[in-house]
């Protein structure tokens, strides 16, 4: 069955990621409406997609031709737009990460979706990466408890990857005042924003591996833009370190899991590109390494396929898991921000 | 050419003497010789005895972590003017030379996986890597310890954030150290005793460069460095070992 998508947002995530991805899934999805917030970018994107354009999110939500609302706007608008889509009786919402920026927002949107039966997928693409499924399957079969988790991100500028997936010139990044990370409040704000908007990709994975309450052991901002966290999740130590290096080496995005007798290194592809699934290497105690063959399917495509299956009535909609993931991310972000400010989390 | 005598009971060093036959020979006693002290057990006592016996240099082969007072007693060896070479197979001088950073990193991270038995020496060597790559011993800001692992927040002498994780495995795992220094150029270092890996990748925007593997044995490298020290080349191995050990001791206060 074909599902009609209305996209709210017309930034790089839409032009270089979701529209091309949906074009590749043309047997399941058709983009019928794209809205920007007045930038004028939606018209050009809509023209090449054969969709309508508007400059108002409400127009997409009110559009009766839209089955699925794709929310690709700044994070602090997500909850409100989800609630509006639910109120308008839409069948499904695809929400770019994060689902919510506060715990209360997460409670509200999950309750609304669950009560109305609105299907919901959050664009945390690592969670949908087929290699990650194989890692969790492998760890489940081995039965070896997790001893530690380390997440390392060294992020090159996104526009380096746009050129591999789009021939449109990337929009100029918004002008921001220089950050003064020596100011604890400013540093706390940056750390919180990065956790909610960036670490959100991997914190659900961490929660999978180390379920339970998260307790921050150390947190700090890292210049020019980054953070370093030491935390315990369900009692298991987790190092989570990220820094943006715009002019530097290609992106490194690695999750390492150490169990009783193995270490598992998962290298996710850089953002935006369709370079297959994550690369996985499992090394045992005596040095034997097993490399999982990567799949052609990547997390960006897989997340839309997951939504199509839900719309088809296949699989269960796990609202409680989405809720727990969102709550977990916000709890880590709040505790880390408090630690950076100097208060005991 | 003068053949410098080498006193050793370790087969790796006997082999190294064979590989340096133009400049070394096996010695019957310690006096006047480069004395190789095995790093297991009370190596600090053995090193002191070698100096007392008239060694011209001492090589400490892959030392275990010693109790702080005992290690500090090595000052006597240093003050005797006898050069001390510390063979640290996970922190080789030639690999350090290949791993130099073009510019200070934005952040540097080290992750260690080892058996409980080798965790201390491995964490000390990871500290050594942080020092060697950033030009000075890191400062420990905080440590969170668990039953099987610890996570430490550190800072380099230049104020760069550094983080270290150490995880002990249930089984007898050979030590593995991964260091990633993130900057415009990213250094990825992997030391894995199980596979003999000492790999370096310098990753830049245009691609990655991997220096040729260093194929000299760790013992031969240490012996060559000892020969250079006997010839007058300054050596700071013992100071560096003590420095790394003292930082490492802050991570493991119950074991100091």
Same domain, A189 and A88: no
**Domains of chain B, residue spans:** 4-89+217-237, 93-209
Where does the pLDDT of residue B1 fall: very low under 50, low under 70, confident under 90, or very high at 90 and above? low
Asked whether the domain spanning B93-209 has the same topology as the one spanning B4-89+217-237, the reply is no
Same domain, A117 and A215: no
Q: For residue A155, give its domain range.
A: 127-298+327-341
Same domain, A174 and A71: no
Same domain, A60 and A178: no
- Final residue of a structural domain among A122, A146, A176: A122
**Range with lowest mean pLDDT among B67-71, B99-103, B241-245:** B67-71
Same domain, A76 and A184: no
Q: Total structural domains in chain A?
A: 2
B150 vs A237: CB contact, 8 Å cut-off?
yes
Q: Beginning with the edge strand found earlier in the chain, give each strand of the sheet holding B186-192 in spatial order.
A: B139-145, B149-155, B161-169, B107-115, B176-182, B186-192, B197-204, B207-209
For chain B, list the strands marked E by DSSP: 4-7, 24-26, 34-38, 57-61, 84-87, 107-115, 139-145, 149-155, 161-169, 176-182, 186-192, 197-204, 207-209
Q: What is the mean pLDDT of chain B?
A: 93
- Final residue of a structural domain among A91, A122, A153: A122
Where does the pLDDT of residue A343 fall: very low under 50, low under 70, confident under 90, or very high at 90 and above? low
What local confidence, expressed as pLDDT, does residue A345 receive? 41
Same domain, A202 and A273: yes
* Smallest CA–CA distance from B145 into chain A, residue: A237
CATH topology for B4-89+217-237? Rossmann fold (3.40.50)
In-domain check, residue A12: yes
Question: Is residue A170 over pLDDT 80?
Answer: no
Q: Is the peptide bond before A98 cis (omega within 30 degrees of 0)?
A: yes
In-domain check, residue A305: no
CATH of the domain at A93: 3.40.50.720
Mean pLDDT of B145-168: 94
Question: Is residue B26 over pLDDT 90?
Answer: yes
Question: Is residue A290 over pLDDT 60?
Answer: yes
Q: Is the peptide bond before A224 cis (omega within 30 degrees of 0)?
A: yes
Same domain, A206 and A335: yes
* Smallest CA–CA distance from B140 into chain A, residue: A218
Same domain, A113 and A138: no
Residues 13-72 in A contacting B (C-alpha not used; CB under 8 Å): none
Same domain, A337 and A188: yes
ipTM above 0.90, yes or no: yes
Same domain, A103 and A135: no
Cβ–Cβ contact A232 with B under 8 A: yes
Same domain, A195 and A271: yes
The chain B residues in contact with chain A (CB within 8 A) are 106-107, 109, 111, 113, 141-142, 144, 146, 148-153, 161, 163, 165, 167-174, 176, 178, 180, 182-186, 188, 192, 194-195, 203-205, 208
Collapsed DSSP state (helix, strand, coil) of residue A305: helix
Render pLDDT for B208-218 as a digit per residue (tens, 0 to 9).
999 999 999 99
Interface size A-B, in CB pairs within 8 Å, comes to 130
In-domain check, residue A312: no
In this prediction, what percent of chain A has a pLDDT beyond 70? 97
* C-alpha torsion sign, points B124, B126, B129, B135: negative
CATH of the domain at A146: 3.30.360.10
Class of domain B93-209: alpha beta
- Final residue of a structural domain among A63, A95, A122: A122
Same domain, A74 and A148: no
Where does the pLDDT of residue A171 fall: very low under 50, low under 70, confident under 90, or very high at 90 and above? low
Mean pLDDT of A52-67: 97
Report the DSSP beta bridge partners of residue A291.
Answer: A281
């Amino acid at each position: 069955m074909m599902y009609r998508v209305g996209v709210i947002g017309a930034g790089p995530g839409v032009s270089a990621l979701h529209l091309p991805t949906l074009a590749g899934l043309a047997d399941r999805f058709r983009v019928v409406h794209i809205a920007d917030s007045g930038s004028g970018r939606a018209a050009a994107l809509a023209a090449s997609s054969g969709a309508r354009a508007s400059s108002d999110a409400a127009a997409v939500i009110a559009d009766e031709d839209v089955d699925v609302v794709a929310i690709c706007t700044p994070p602090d608008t997500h909850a409100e737009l989800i609630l509006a889509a639910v109120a308008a009786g839409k069948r499904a919402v695809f929400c770019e990460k994060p689902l919510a920026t506060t715990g209360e927002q997460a409670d509200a949107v999950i309750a609304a979706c669950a009560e109305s039966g609105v299907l919901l997928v959050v664009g945390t693409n690592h969670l949908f990466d087929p290699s990650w499924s194989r890692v969790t399957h492998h760890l489940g079969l081995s039965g070896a408890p997790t001893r530690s988790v380390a997440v390392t991100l060294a992020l090159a500028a996104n526009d380096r990857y746009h050129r591999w997936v789009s021939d449109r010139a990337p929009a100029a990044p918004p002008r921001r005042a220089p950050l003064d990370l020596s100011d604890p409040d400013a540093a706390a704000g940056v750390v919180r924003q990065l956790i909610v908007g960036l670490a959100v990709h991997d914190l659900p994975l961490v929660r999978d591996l180390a379920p339970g309450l998260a307790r921050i052991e150390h947190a700090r901002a890292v210049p020019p833009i980054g953070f370093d966290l030491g935390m315990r999740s369900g009692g298991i130590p987790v190092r989570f370190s990220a820094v943006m290096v715009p002019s530097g080496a290609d992106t490194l995005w690695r999750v390492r899991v150490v169990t009783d007798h193995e270490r598992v290194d998962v290298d996710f592809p850089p953002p935006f590109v369709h370079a297959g699934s994550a690369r996985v290497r499992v090394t045992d105690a005596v040095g034997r390494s097993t490399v999982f063959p990567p799949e052609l399917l990547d997390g960006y495509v897989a997340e839309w396929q997951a939504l199509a299956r839900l719309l088809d009535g296949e699989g269960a909609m796990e609202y409680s898991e989405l809720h727990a993931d969102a709550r977990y991310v916000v709890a880590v972000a709040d505790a880390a921000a408090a630690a950076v400010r100097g208060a005991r989390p | 050419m003068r053949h410098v005598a080498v006193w050793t009971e370790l087969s790796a060093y006997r082999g190294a003497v064979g590989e340096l036959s133009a400049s070394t020979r096996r010695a019957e006693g310690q006096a006047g010789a480069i004395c190789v002290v095995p790093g297991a057990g009370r190596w600090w006592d053995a090193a002191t005895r070698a100096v007392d016996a008239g060694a011209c240099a001492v090589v400490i082969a892959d030392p275990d972590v010693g109790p702080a007072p005992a290690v500090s007693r090595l000052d006597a060896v240093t003050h005797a003017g006898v050069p001390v070479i510390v063979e640290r197979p996970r922190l080789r001088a030639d690999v350090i030379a290949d791993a130099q950073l073009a510019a200070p990193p934005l952040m540097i991270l080290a992750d260690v996986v080892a058996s409980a038995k080798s965790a201390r020496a491995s964490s000390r060597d990871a500290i050594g890597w942080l020092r060697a790559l950033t030009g000075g011993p890191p400062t420990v800001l905080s440590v969170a310890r668990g039953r099987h692992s610890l996570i430490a927040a550190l800072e380099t002498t230049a104020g760069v954030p550094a983080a270290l994780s150490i995880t002990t495995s249930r089984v007898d795992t050979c030590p593995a150290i991964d260091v990633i220094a993130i900057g415009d150029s990213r250094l990825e270092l992997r030391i894995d005793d199980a596979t003999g890996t000492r790999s370096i990748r310098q990753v830049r925007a245009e691609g990655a460069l991997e220096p040729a593997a260093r194929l000299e044995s760790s013992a031969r490298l240490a012996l060559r460095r000892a020969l250079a020290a006997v010839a007058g080349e300054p050596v700071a191995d013992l100071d560096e070992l003590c420095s790394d050990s003292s930082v490492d001791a802050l991570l493991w206060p119950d074991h100091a």
